[in-house]
Amino acid sequence: MRRVLCGGALALSGLALLAAVVPARALVIAPPPGPMRAAKAEVIVVGRIIALEEKDVSAPQFPKATQNVNYRIAVVTVSEVIKGVKETKTIRLGFIPPPQPVKGKPPFIRPGRFNVNFTVGQDGMFFLTKHHQEKFYIAPMYFDFVNGDNPNFKNEVRQAKLAVKIGNNPQAALKSKDNEERFFAAAMLIDKYRPFVGPQAKTEAIPAEESKLILTALVDADWKQGPGFGQFHPYNLFNRLGPKEGWTPPQGGNIDGIYTAAKEWLRKNAGTYRIQRIIGGGTTGPNTGPRPIRPLPLPAPKVEPIN
């Protein structure tokens, strides 16, 4: 029994290693993939914080909140608009500053919210939503801001632009000559059609041609890069399709073998398999909300007989 438990512990440590590439706080709530962040945000801009207003704004954090919180207001000078506003030179960004540390006590962490403590001089890309009552925008989660110092920043901006472009008409993007555009479109549609739901969900088949284009886009996508935190991966999306007749993952835990088998299943069944769209019953949350990214399958722990 002890050896079985050890094997299970090793499997769990493998999960921890998969998550080790992100800050520890992200282990609580995984960032939505870039296309979903772009779809959810009302405004996306690239800019720099040039000032903090002297006076905080007291306002409810959400509709019908019984108490107000103090928002500090950062003034963002906009260098590029990606979504939502036109001819805007500055934007007021409200954020809840962390409480001042008390000597001898551990720092306070606000559960479920990992706000960025914005400071003058910070630049990057902001995924913003207008405050429901006051005249400022908010970026309430840590992944709603991409720091300009991020080595992947230019690619993040490029993907945000692509997501906004494709989000206007993902069905049309499925016919693009560019593999990445087709994959983005397929990812956005699968996330829309196949939200995480309860066992009693009702479904209906999407049009056959659209279903085939989505499956073909998954085949043509890049399966070599890791799933990544906050990124779509073709295998994650493959698993989101639901029950698939004739699909049995290869045994042994070889990731490349699993990917190859999944791609082969998609090739063989693209013309006959119909993606089932969730139409109601048991939905656990909005399609664009944050959700955990499913890790890659891990090899089953080896169980040795006890002599």
| 47-103 confidence digits (pLDDT tens) | 999 999 999 999 999 999 999 999 999 999 999 999 998 888 999 999 998 876 666
Token pair in block for residue 251: 């045994």
Q: Which residues contact 182 (CB under 8 A, 6 or more apart)?
A: 173, 174, 175, 176, 213, 216, 217, 220, 221
Give the model's pLDDT for residue 268. Answer: 96
Q: Would you say residue 13 has pLDDT above 80?
A: no
Exposed/middle/buried for residue 185 (C-beta within 10 Å: 0-12, 13-18, 19+) = buried
Among 74, 202, 191, 243, smallest CA distance to 144 is for 74
Report all structural domains of the chain as residue ranges with CATH numbers, in order of start: 31-159 (2.40.50.120), 169-280 (no CATH)
How much is the average pLDDT of 194-203? 80
Q: Would you say residue 185 has pLDDT above 80?
A: yes
Taking only the tens place, the pLDDT of each residue in 142-172 is 889 999 999 989 988 998 998 899 988 999 9
Helices (H), the chain: 2-19, 34-40, 153-167, 170-173, 179-193, 208-220, 234-240, 255-269
Q: What is the pTM of this model?
A: 0.70
Whether 75 and 53 have beta carbons less than 8 Å apart is answered as: yes
**75: enclosing H helix or E strand:** strand 68-83
Taking only the tens place, the pLDDT of each residue in 256-298 is 899 999 999 999 999 999 999 998 765 454 443 334 333 344 3
Among 239, 226, 220, smallest CA distance to 182 is for 220
Q: Which residues contact 37 (CB under 8 A, 6 or more apart)?
A: 31, 127, 143, 144, 160, 163
How much is the average pLDDT of 241-251? 90
Output 40 or 178, whichever has higher pLDDT: 178
Q: Would you say residue 306 has pLDDT above 60?
A: no
Q: How far apart are the first and last CA of the chain?
A: 12
How many other CB atoms are found less than 10 A from the CB of residue 95? 21
**Residue 27: which pLDDT band, with cuts at 50, 70 and 90?**
very low
Please give the full DSSP string across 150-173, using - where no structure is assigned. -TTHHHHHHHHHHHHHHHT-HHHH
Please give the full DSSP string across 94-161, using - where no structure is assigned. EE-PPPPPPTTSPPP--TT-------TT-EEEEEEEE-SSSSSEE--SGGGEEETT-TTHHHHHHHHH
Taking only the tens place, the pLDDT of each residue in 113-133 is 456 889 999 999 999 999 999
